[in-house]
A and B are shown apart, each in its own frame.
Chain A
Amino acid sequence: MTRTATCMSLAGGLAATAIAMPALAQNGADYFKGKTVTYIVATSAGGGYDLYGRLVAEYMQRYLPGSTFVVRNLPGARHLVGANTIFASRADGLTIGTFNTGLIYNQLVGLPGIKFDLAKMSWIGKATTEPRAIVMAQQSPIKTFADLQATKQPVNFATSGIGSANYVETTMLTSALKLPAKVLTGYNGNTDQLAMRRGEVGGTIGSRSSFEQFVQNGYGRFIAQIGGKDPNVPQLRDLVKDPAALSLIALVQSQGDIARLTAGPPGIPPAVLDALREAYRNALDDKELQEKAAKLERPVEPGYGDEVLKAVITALNQPPETIALLTQALKKK
């Protein structure tokens, strides 16, 4: 091919693409034909986020015919790396992903390392609700929440690393509720359960689903929960009067309500975003996916698009007292 010919065809190709792009975007789902969507999971392979992520990716692919969904694990700095990457990626709808909802706390308090703004991200949906619960070890003498409030000796509470969502929640709650708790850090993964069995640690505040088995096996008991449907365990908001504490509990609950979310960078063109949301809705309503999720003991309680966005924005709009409480709790360590 001659030089001129190459230049001309290249120019022609560019022009054609430039003209075609907006037109393609109009067609929503067609846009994804032949394209690869990268679904970023902010943890390494195999954990809860990865499992949900792969399920969602697999089924979204079915509802966006012609597309290929590839899961990319991007662990690091407690979901910060994944979230930052999703936020910074090109807003063409071809990169979306999942990360810990708890990053809301990070943003509220302005913890270091944040390169995103959750309010601006393009929200696609959330997969489930993960209510929190206060779990006490079996051998602990504390049987009810009232016992916990009344106890004289500080009780050891296990959390994962400093700065993690788990740590923030626990510190925040124990300090707002004025509980005699000594917050211990460094219990990653399931080591907190082991510590409870050993008697090193008296209790934990964490997502209820991770302790379901534990309690069923008789190793622990739930003394309060935040959100969730279990009628046998008291709701924390019913046990507490202080308004500051109550607003904190509401924050934690709203967090738990939008668990296992899927989002994309800000500025995804509306037609494309709608197509993604539609596919997500279909994926989560799919019977097969629901069965698989149930087998994994990770049931789905989906939420879509704008309702998730609203929840995030509400969560991020906390009164200054709450933020002060948060910042203070974190400083104490």
Chain B
Amino acid sequence: MTATPAPMTILMLAIFAAMVGVASTYPPEARFMPFIVGIPAIGLCLLQLAIDLYRRRVPTGGDGDDALKEAEDRVARISGRRLQFDMPSENTMFTETAHDARETMRRETIVWGYFLGLVAGILLFGFHVTVPIFLIAFLRFQAKASWRSALIYGGLGAIVMYLLFEKVLRVVLHGGFVTDFALGRFGG
């Protein structure tokens, strides 16, 4: 079963509430659009939250077709329209995964760690330093490639990137705060 959608709804609600809140400090013409967009959105989030909470009380999945129908009826009565509650999952990744919820969380944390590490590394040390490290590390530890493959593919990728941006396109990539500082101090 997919995780309950409620946390997402709450997040969206929070985002809209925050943005509308900030917008109310702006002069009337400036806050017009944010209000027109944000206030209905808050309303919709609340409605969606209500639906999510109803769903929680109703077991979904294989069993509970009746319970589902019952929940649908309830909401139809309240909101005046009929909504379908079974949502064919458009994303097979999480329903067909072989991992259970705990394992998924663990893997998610690791992969997010890599991503955040990549961005932080780029900001601090620049593209040309961080990219090869990221590529090699990911290939070796996540993709379980051999050291040789990781070094070759990762190294190749980094070299291509360097040549493409520095030499061919002459596009300047972020140098990284630490790297720039160091180069400024010691190099020239």
**B186 CB contacts on chain A under 8 angstroms:** 13-14, 17
> A28 vs B106: C-alpha distance in the bound complex, in angstroms?
58
Contact B188 A35 (CB under 8 A): yes
Contacts of B171 in A (CB 8 A): 72
Is the Cβ of A38 less than 8 Å from the Cβ of B172? yes
**In the complex the two chains form, is A72's CB within 8 Å of B184's CB?**
no
Contacts of A38 in B (CB 8 A): 172
Q: How far is the CB of B30 from chain A (nearest CB, A)?
A: 11
Give chain A interface residues in 31-84, CB to chain B under 8 Å.
35, 38, 70-72
Contacting residues, chain B, for A237 (C-beta < 8 A): none
B170 within 8 A of A: yes
A35→B170 CA distance, assembly (Å): 15
Minimal beta-carbon separation of A267 from chain B (angstroms): 15
Binding site of A, secondary structure by majority: helix, strand, loop or mixed?
Answer: mixed
Q: Complex Cα distance A319/B65, Å?
A: 80
A297 to B171, CA, bound (A): 26
Indicate which residue in A35, A70, A90 contacts B172 across the interface (CB closer than 8 Å). A70
B186 nearest in chain A by CB position: A14
A70 touches B170 (CB 8 A): yes
CA–CA, A108 and B186, complex, Å: 39
Query: Contact at B184–A17, with CB atoms within 8 Å?
Result: no
Chain B residue with the shortest CB-CB distance to A57: B170
> How far does the Cβ of A149 sit from chain B's closest Cβ, in whole Å?
31
Report whether A72 and B188 are in contact in the complex, using a CB–CB cutoff of 8 Å: no
B184 and A71 contacting across the interface, CB-CB below 8 Å? no
Contacts of A71 in B (CB 8 A): 170
The CB with the most chain A CB atoms within 10 A, among B171, B172, B186, is that of B172
Contacts of B172 in A (CB 8 A): 38, 70, 72
Q: What distance in Å separates the Cβ of B164 from its nearest Cβ neighbour in chain A?
A: 14
Chain A residues, Cβ within 8 Å of B170: 70-71
Report which of A13, A14, A70, A90 forms a contact with B184, defined as CB distance below 8 A: A90
How far does the alpha carbon of A70 sit from the alpha carbon of B172 in the complex, in Å?
A: 8
CB proximity of A70 to chain B, nearest CB, Å: 5
How far does the Cβ of B162 sit from chain A's closest Cβ, in whole Å? 14
Give B146-183 as 1s and 0s: 1 = Cβ < 8 Å from A's Cβ atoms. Answer: 00000000000000000000000011100000000000
CA distance A222 to B1 in the complex (A): 70
Cα distance, A70 to B186, chains bound together (Å)? 22
Name the residue of chain A whose CB is nearest to the CB of B184: A90
A residues within 8 A CB of B184?
A: 90
> Once bound together, how far apart are the Cα atoms of A13 and B187, in whole Å?
10
The interface bits of chain B over 102-116 (1 if a CB of A lies within 8 angstroms of the residue's CB, else 0) are 000000000000000
Q: Which residues of B contact A35 (CB under 8 A)?
A: 188
Q: What residues of B have a CB within 8 angstroms of the CB of A17 in the complex?
A: 186, 188
Which chain A residues lie closer than 8 Å to B188 at the CB level? Answer: 17, 35
Cα-based distance from A72 to B188 in the complex (angstroms): 19
| Distance in angstroms between the alpha carbons of A71 and B171 in the assembled complex | 7
Chain B residues with CB below 8 A from A72, complex form: 171-172
| Residues of B with C-beta under 8 A to A70 | 170, 172
Which residues of chain B have C-beta atoms less than 8 A from A14's C-beta?
Answer: 186
Shortest CB distance A243–B (Å):
35
Chain B residue nearest in CB terms to A35: B188
Residue in A35, A38, A72 with the greatest tally of chain B CB atoms within 10 Å: A72
Cβ of A90: which chain B residues have Cβ within 8 Å of it? 184
CA distance A72 to B171 in the complex (A): 7
Q: Would you give the shortest CB distance from A59 to chain B, in whole angstroms? A: 16
Cβ-closest chain A residue relative to B180:
A90
What CA separation (Å) do A233 and B60 show in the bound complex? Answer: 78
Complex Cα–Cα for A72 and B172 (A): 6
- Distance (Å) between the CB of B58 and the closest chain A CB? 50
- Specify the chain A residue showing the minimal Cβ separation from B187: A17
Q: Closest chain B residue to A31 by CB distance? A: B188
C-alpha spacing A38/B180, complex, angstroms:
14
Residue of B nearest to A45 (CB): B171
Residue of A nearest to B185 (CB): A14
Give Cα distance in the complex from A35 to B186, angstroms.
15
A21 nearest CB neighbor, chain B only: B188
Instruction: Give 12 A-B contacts (CB < 8 Å), ordered by A residue.
Output: A13-B186, A14-B186, A17-B186, A17-B188, A35-B188, A38-B172, A70-B170, A70-B172, A71-B170, A72-B171, A72-B172, A90-B184
Give 6 new A-B contacts, CB below 8 A, not counting A17-B186, A72-B172: A13-B186, A17-B188, A35-B188, A70-B170, A70-B172, A72-B171
Q: What 9 pairs across the A-B complex have the smallest Cβ distances?
A: A72-B172, A70-B170, A70-B172, A90-B184, A38-B172, A14-B186, A17-B188, A71-B170, A35-B188
